[in-house]
Amino acid sequence: MPSTHSAGQLCEQRQTGLASLLSHANRLMPNQKIAYVSLMLGVIAQALVTASQRDPIMQDELRGYPEGFRIRLSVLPDCGDKRLGFTLQVSDVDGIRQFIQSDDTTTPNLSLQFKHIAMAFLVFSFQESTTQAFANDRMIADGDLAYAVRFVRLLNQLEAVILPKALAMRAIKRYPKLSLSQKLRQARPIYLAVVKQMTRQLFSRQAPRRIV
């Protein structure tokens, strides 16, 4: 006879599994944390671009920025000489307000920086929300604070859509009402775009150089 579990027991099992996963994550070596944060920054950049093309909530938030507004999310260069971060630009494409990739060398209108790689790791391993990171003084905002708060709301909306509910509830302050079918419908094109971009980058690094 199959065993049955109450909703409370299932929830407890999920929380135990999540705690175990986070415990393993915290044992990563510093160079592994740098690699993980670098990967997550790339994923988030592509996910924001793709989600902004489809998500009406994000598009509504983006209307609060002037066209051409540039936002950079990065980690202060305390991890060797490697620069970690990305820059996105708010643009109107075919009448839709969305993010597009921007040149990192261009001065941003809003810069959000984690003070240390360990602080970025806390957020990107979903042990602390972006809102908590601001409250705990783990990030520096260079620019209009209202625009910074708006960008945090954009990150929260993205995480609500693409993360499993158990992780999303740790990553954001308030989890919106989203059915499983809604999450899958909205998250699928984002996942596909991220995988496509990462695959393209992987093959471009492995491609042999031409000898002139």
- 147's CB contacts (< 8 A; 6+ apart) are 64, 65, 69, 71, 109, 110
Q: Find out if CATH 1.10.260.40 is the number for domain 24-204.
A: no
Residue 212 has pLDDT above 60, yes or no: no
Average pLDDT (142-169) is 89
Note the pTM of the prediction, 2 decimals: 0.77
Distance CA 154, CA 152 (A): 5
Q: In what order do the strands lie in the sheet with 96-101?
A: 96-101, 84-93, 70-75, 110-114, 139-142
Give per-residue pLDDT as tens, 109-142.
Answer: 999 999 988 899 989 988 888 888 888 899 999 9
How does residue 204 score in pLDDT terms, banded at 50, 70 and 90?
low
The residue that leads in pLDDT, 136 or 99, is 99
Average pLDDT of span 161-169: 80
pLDDT above 50: residue 147: yes
Amino acid found at 79: C
**Cβ-Cβ contacts under 8 Å for 190 (sequence gap 6 or more):** 47, 50, 51, 54, 161, 162
185/208: higher pLDDT:
185
